[in-house]
Structure 1
Amino acid sequence: MALLREGVLTVHGRVTDASNAVLYCTVTLDGLTAPCVYKPVAGERPLWDFPDGTLAGREAAAHEVSAATGWGLVPPTLLREGPAGPGMVQLWIEPDPDAPELLDLQPLETGPRPGWLPILRAEVDGGRLAWLVHRDDERLRRLAVLDAVLNNADRKGGHWLSAADGRIYGIDHGVTCHPAPKLRTLLWGWAGQPLTDEAREALDRLAADLAGPLGERLRPHLTAGEIAALAARTAALLADGRHPLPSAEWPSIPWPPV
């Protein structure tokens, strides 16, 4: 993290398909250079339903929560000054082009193939129906648990990356941690299923840390109400012992999905 925190940021270009300012950079310290993403607060579009704090602060908070679970699902992320003012800096994760696909469309008539879980029925090719499915992958399942804790309102298919090290990383956490329920995700394949023992252990660690050091580290990024809601969601998951179900009261799938 010292490299991201103290290194010299050099901007090389802008990610043009993002809704807010996303700059591709390198960061250099003591002869070591790494690629990173820099999202300046000045480039954020105001969101009526996220009036408090900043998107950059929520991204930093998501990394802190991820680290506390022990899963390390969010790349190293922090807030710091940059060429365009304060913003989020996150280590760049290069997707592995040879990694197996995690999303697929499969024929409605035959149902999802073994090893895949249904998300929804999708209309393709002028009215033909198909299953949109994701892999039954423990790495994605951990991400589903993290999203339930973070109340992630935007887990699109493009918001996870398969890296060359075999890990899956979640990115783009600017619309998380709202006190009101807003979970919108493609990772509904385990909805209603019991949490794994691993997940319960991770949530136990998170709950303990939220009551202590983690709660203090989140204060610069989230309101007191948002931190309390995060702790309440963690406790509710542990008490229920199951992955949450989609709500009938708000959209449960992000748009666009991918």
Structure 2
Amino acid sequence: MPDNAATAGLDIPDGERAALELLERGALEVEGRLVGASNATLYCTIKGGGAEANCVYKPVAGERPLWDFPTGTLAGREVAAYAVSRAAGWNVAPPTVMRDGPFGPGMCQLWIDLDPEVDLVALSRRSDHAGLREMAVFDAVVNNADRKIGHLLPVTDGHLYGCDHGVCFAEEYKLRTVLWQWRGKALPRRSVEALRRLADDMAAGWLADELSKHLTRREINATRSRVAKLLKHPTYPYPSEDWPAIPWPPV
């Protein structure tokens, strides 16, 4: 199993375990660049052990500096987001690892084929979609500053993934999302149970250890505090009065 995958104490399905192994150890070949992305985002083929898949590779060297996040940390934040997603059981982030590649170390994430029948704008406005509700809680935990409509990845079996979690885990409240339709409403029981799992895993130490590979101690403590606050007041958060509520562009 890849050393940098968040697997300790987790019951990972065989298919996802195989995907993590392929992402970590497979031969990476760049096929093209996703030109709409603000940072270098490369579409790749990865092969190994008789398996083949497509993935996204974001080298650290291709990250554009930001004023509010330390330079060179975005790829690691995506891996940390996967760890939180997997530990809670939300499975929002696709399998994601840190590895070396043609342009140096970077994030490597399994490519997700979208369900072409889903209207993403209409999906983002729904209030009755369980996966979307869980994504909103996940975003609150990781403090996602960039949940755009285009970051929603619905697949044909009904599951909903999300991508582009590089600007997460800030210490200050920076939640910026298109998913505000539940603000102030009570969290579902399933979400509360997921938060309890996260709190337990942080207390056990292994999840904090995993996050420490990519985040500062203060960022980890801030994540722990967000989980505790959501458990104490189990409601969806409100937008900040000091921070834009919706990313731009929203799509």
* Fold shared, TM-score > 0.5 on shorter chain: yes
Pairing 1:103–2:143 present: no
Displacement, 1:139?
A: 0.7
- Between the aligned partners of 1:218 and 1:163, the Cα distance in structure 2 is 28
Runs of 4+ in 1 over 2 A off after TM superposition: 101-104, 132-136
Equivalent in the alignment of 1:74: 93
Displacement, 1:7?
A: 0.5
Retained in 2: the 8 A contact 1:39–1:89?
A: yes
Q: Secondary structure at the match of 2:214?
A: coil
- Between the aligned partners of 1:149 and 1:44, the Cα distance in structure 2 is 24
- Between the aligned partners of 1:176 and 1:51, the Cα distance in structure 2 is 12
2:67 aligned residue (42, 48, 53): 48
- Between the aligned partners of 2:73 and 2:243, the Cα distance in structure 1 is 23
Name the aligned partner's letter for residue 214 of structure 1. L
Pairing 1:85–2:104 present: yes
Unaligned runs of 5+ in 1: 105-115, 117-131
What CA RMSD, in Å, does the superposition of the two structures yield over aligned residues?
1.3
**Alignment deviations for residues 187-206 of structure 1 (CA, whole Å, 9 cap, x no partner):** 10110000111000000001
1:227 aligned residue (220, 232, 236): 220
Equivalent in the alignment of 1:243: 236
Equivalent in the alignment of 2:56: 37
Pairing 1:94–2:113 present: yes
**Alignment deviations for residues 102-155 of structure 1 (CA, whole Å, 9 cap, x no partner):** 424xxxxxxxxxxx9xxxxxxxxxxxxxxx933431110000000000000000
Name the aligned partner's letter for residue 175 of structure 2. L
Retained in 2: the 8 A contact 1:62–1:173?
A: yes
Pairing 1:203–2:203 present: no
1:140 aligned residue (132, 137, 145): 132
Equivalent in the alignment of 1:213: 206
- Between the aligned partners of 1:178 and 1:87, the Cα distance in structure 2 is 20
Unaligned runs of 5+ in 2: 1-19
- Between the aligned partners of 1:134 and 1:233, the Cα distance in structure 2 is 25
Name the aligned partner's letter for residue 255 of structure 1. W
Name the aligned partner's letter for residue 86 of structure 1. P
Aligned length: 231
More strand, by proportion: 1
Name the aligned partner's letter for residue 70 of structure 2. P
Retained in 2: the 8 A contact 1:52–1:223?
A: no
Equivalent in the alignment of 1:108: none
Q: Secondary structure at the match of 2:176?
A: coil
Pairing 1:25–2:44 present: yes
Retained in 1: the 8 A contact 2:75–2:106?
A: yes
Name the aligned partner's letter for residue 175 of structure 1. V
| Higher Rg | 1
Displacement, 1:213?
A: 0.6
Retained in 2: the 8 A contact 1:152–1:175?
A: yes
Q: Secondary structure at the match of 1:237?
A: helix
Retained in 2: the 8 A contact 1:12–1:24?
A: yes
Retained in 2: the 8 A contact 1:69–1:206?
A: yes
Retained in 2: the 8 A contact 1:59–1:172?
A: yes
Name the aligned partner's letter for residue 170 of structure 1. G
